[in-house]
Amino acid sequence: MYKYDAVDKAIVSDRVEQFRGQVSRHLAGDLSAADLAPLRLRNGLYMQIHAHMLRVSIPYGLVSSEQMRALAQVSRQYDKGYGHFTTRQNIQFNWPELADVPDILKDLSNVEMHAIQTSGNCIRNISSDQYAGVATDEIIDPRPYCEIIRQWSTLHPEFYWLPRKFKIAVTGATEDRAAVKFHDIGLEVVYNDNNEVGFRVYVGGGLGRTPVIGKVIKDFLPREDILSYCEAILRVYNLHGRRDNKYKARIKILVNAMGIDDFRDEVEAEWQHFKDGELKLHDIDFETMQAFFPKPAYEELTSGDDRVAKWRSLDSRFKAWYDNNTVDHVEPGYRIVNVSLKEHGVAPGDATDEQMDAIANIAEKYSFGEIRVTHEQNLVLADIREQDLLEVWKELDQVRLATPNIGSVNDMICCPGLDFCSLANASSISVAKQINEKFDDFEELYDIGEVKLKMSGCMNACGHHHVGHIGILGVDKKGEEWYQLTVGGDASNDAALGTHLGKAIAKDKVGDAIGDILDVYKDLRSDDERLLDTFRRVGIDPFKEKVYSEEA
Amino acid sequence: MSATKTVANRAIKARAKATPDRIQKDIISAKAIIDQKIVDNAIHHVAETEELTIADLPEGDISVPMNMWLDHKAELQARDSLVAVQIAADEFPEDFVEEYAEISHIVLPMVAHIDGRSYSHAFKLRTRFNYDGEIRAIGDVKYDQLGFLTRSGCNAFELPESESLEVALNAFSEMSDVYQPSADGAPLIFSRRRTVH
Ligand code: HEM
Ligand code: SF4
């Protein structure tokens, strides 16, 4: 993975000292809370209902064992012994003291981590495919491109006070696991007719109050131009994005107001001024960066280890885990292991210090010392030998990280909701529990297959409900918590927003409604259709009829 | 470039006056920071109101809104003291390209420091229009903005009276390195690494 050089180190440690200065000026009364607010935000520090929340950047979700141990240590020393892995592949600590934050950042800088630009109206952490480098459908490894964009966007002086936050995602595989069409800028790798690498560029996608699918601004952008083209988009947005209303300030609103064609013309005109200047990348830059993400020292193995078949037949729990939580690897004899952070009864995405340490150790022992964070609030061990699967499973199971539910209804994305968030209309964690309890029969879950369930506690959509195969949105009805359901959303290649099922549902009936939706699916599905496929074929009506039938 | 395309929300080009993005009250500071040094300041920044006329301008060094400059250039040039010109966040530097040869000081009024448009204005003035006079940020400009404003092309600052200029000077040395080019002509980090490899 990427290792800091002297420049990276200087920038991150100067930044820690700069923030230490800001905090001490504030504590001494020389910097008002109002003036500190945007500065602390650009260092990942929010105010929440109960306390500050610190969001630490995990660039494109990649974290080493050493870094994971440092995160565990932060949660132990400065927090309540757990952290929350987020949908943008970062980690959040919910209880740090303001005065401790400069020390936390100092500790993290020792393992080459920081919280720069993890919040505030600036360019955020670059997100990507959690299977980068090991996916069977990979065209090109997106990580070098992510790291190049990360460095260029870090402390960019001109784009630090944008109209609103700005998120960039990169995918290098056929299947889009990075939701590039739901980012302010999405980059999807493509080859042109001359076999040159470039990117299809999407702009203006996003969720939140006004969900929009990103539009193609450029069909083929040569890879050497990614920085200058991003800069042109950012400059047009910085100058023309709305600043009078924060709900209309994202780039998606600007792109819709101007129309994609006029927006493109404006960006292209801007780009012409400097496209062949200093920002142009050279082949050597990609090679140098790719060298930080080498193929690990794989052994020569063959796939289909006999022992795995035997273990699967002997132990139904191992079988369930293998079938659900592991994925084909590009290298023979290896598998990708998903580590579920959706244990029954635990807030989705949370991990304790003990679990983080355990993961760090397992990764060191079996997976070249690297871990990935997924945008579905889980972790990944990318390089596990098939012959080690039983041991890995046992070690994960010991720390309750082997719940065999990846991709199922129980593997839901869920925002913090009323339990932590001052904006929430309704709680989401307790509804997650209700659903966990209703669907506790794993055999049934496996029969249902892939269902991406996503839940947000209000229309800010932190839980991405618009793109859930089933989406749940908390709404407030005269002070009571109600839930609006959607069906058919999709964050991947065939990006779609979910269709409204009907009027909101009472809190204690949400589990039943999900049950009804799944029953309709089981009745109507043909062959190997997923819920999403069946919905696309039959539409919303059969689901609607069943869910609301009892009231009729 | 500006002639090629009109942006949807750019009705502003009709040269609106006294918008919320212009300074609402005159600004007079006793001191300024110029080229990273604290100096006495004499420029009186005149706010743009609907009623403002050329007869209202005070004696001595002043900065005037761009509208005033465009309407009364000859009279302003006839004054025997400094006349600087303001470009507000909602104006566009490319609309005034012909003027820059005659303007020695440009003032960027920051009504709210969270509004980043003036950074792009400074960047364009320096890199695209090769403006080499003074670019001065005034208004809601404090310690923590000075570093990035400098990189974007500003070389002079006036801070609100409550701010310590001596402390603010630290802003220029806080960060010892940078990753990307801006108006400061810094190289892209990757081109530096290219020469090392
Ligand atoms: C204090 C209250 C809030 C809390 C606790 C909260 C929490 C979260 C969390 C945990 C995430 C996951 C992503 C990550 O951190 O990397 C997230 C993302 C997100 N937040 Fe919030 N948030 C809050 C306020 C807001 C507000 C005010 C808005 C919008 C006006 C908002 C819009 C979003 C959106 C749209 C995402 C999804 C990011 C994406 O595009 O993938 N949130 N938030
Ligand atoms: S979706 Fe709403 S309730 Fe949930 S975290 Fe975001 S702002 Fe809070």
The helix (H) or strand (E) run that includes residue A520 is helix A510-524
- DSSP H stretches of helix in B153-188: 165-168
Dihedral sign for Cα atoms in the order A105, A106, A111, A117: positive
In tens, the pLDDT along B35-75 reads: 999 999 999 999 999 899 999 999 999 999 999 999 999 99
Contact between A378 and A340 (Cβ < 8 Å) = yes
Closest residue of chain A to B151, computed from CA coordinates? A157
Greater confidence, A353 or B5? Answer: A353
- What DSSP string runs through A18-61? HHHHHHHHHHTTSS-HHHHHHHHHTTTEEE-SSSEEEEE--GGG
Pairing label, strands A350-352, A52-56: unpaired
**Count of A-B CB contacts under 8 Å:** 135
Res B3 pLDDT > 70: no
- DSSP H stretches of helix in A369-471: 389-398, 429-438, 442-448
Q: Which residues of B are less than 8 Å from A281 in CB distance?
A: 190
CB contact under 8 A, B189 and A238: no
Confidence of residue B4 (pLDDT cuts 50, 70, 90): very low
Interchain CB contact of A20 with B (< 8 Å): no
CB contact under 8 A, B5 and A265: yes
Q: For A155, which of B117, B176, B178 is closest by C-beta distance?
A: B178
User: Domains, chain B, ranges and CATH?
Assistant: 23-196 (3.20.20)
Q: What is the pLDDT along chain A (552 residues), one digit of tens a residue?
A: 999 999 999 999 999 999 999 999 999 998 998 888 888 888 888 887 777 889 999 999 999 999 999 999 999 999 999 999 998 899 999 889 999 999 999 999 999 999 999 988 999 999 999 999 999 999 999 999 999 999 999 999 999 999 999 999 999 999 999 999 999 999 999 999 999 999 999 999 999 889 999 999 999 999 999 999 999 999 999 999 999 999 999 999 999 999 999 999 999 999 999 999 999 999 999 999 999 999 999 999 998 889 999 999 999 999 999 999 999 999 999 999 999 999 887 888 999 999 999 999 999 999 999 999 999 899 999 999 999 999 999 999 999 999 999 989 889 998 888 887 888 998 888 888 888 888 888 888 889 999 999 999 999 999 999 999 999 999 999 889 999 999 999 999 999 999 999 999 999 999 999 999 999 999 999 988 999 999 999 999 999 999 998 765
Q: Which residues of B are less than 8 Å from A21 in CB distance?
A: 170, 174
- B156 — phi, psi (to 5°)? -140, 150
Q: Which percentage of chain B shows pLDDT scores above 90?
A: 85
Nearest atom (ligand 1) to Cα of A349: 10
- A338 — phi, psi (to 5°)? -90, 130
Is the CB of A255 inside a 6 Å radius of any atom of ligand 1? no
- B152 — phi, psi (to 5°)? -80, -10
Residues 6+ apart with CB under 8 A from A158: A234, A235, A238, B116, B119, B120, B123, B148, B152, B182
Contact between A105 and A43 (Cβ < 8 Å) = yes
- What confidence score (pLDDT) does residue B14 get? 59
Best of A13, A161, A263 to substitute, by most chain B Cβ atoms within 10 angstroms, is A161
Closest CA of chain B from A496, distance in Å: 27
Q: Measuring CA to CA, how many Å separate A338 from each of A82, A98, A296, A389?
A: 20, 34, 19, 12
Residues 222-281 of A with CB under 8 A from B: 227, 235, 238-240, 242-243, 254, 257-259, 262, 265-266, 269-270, 272-274, 277-279, 281
Best of A43, A148, A156, A287 to substitute, by most chain B Cβ atoms within 10 angstroms, is A156
The residues that bridge with A56 in the sheet, in sequence order, are A91
Residues 6+ apart with CB under 8 A from B80: none
Is the CB of A415 inside a 6 Å radius of any atom of ligand 2? yes
Interchain CB contact of B25 with A (< 8 Å): no
- What confidence score (pLDDT) does residue B196 get? 60
- DSSP H stretches of helix in chain B: 66-71, 73-78, 117-127, 143-152, 165-168, 189-196
The residues that bridge with A91 in the sheet, in sequence order, are A56, A85
Q: Which of A128, A133, A173 is nearest to A147 (CA)?
A: A128
Confidence of residue B2 (pLDDT cuts 50, 70, 90): very low
User: Domains, chain A, ranges and CATH?
Assistant: 6-109 (3.90.480.20), 134-290 (3.30.413.10), 306-398 (3.90.480.20), 413-549 (3.30.413.10)
Q: Which of A48, A460, A464 to mutate to test the pocket of ligand 1 (most atoms within 8 A of CB)?
A: A460
Residues 120-139 of A with CB under 8 A from B: 121
Q: Tokens for A386?
A: 């098939």
Interchain CB contact of B163 with A (< 8 Å): no
Cβ count near B89 (within 10 Å): 23
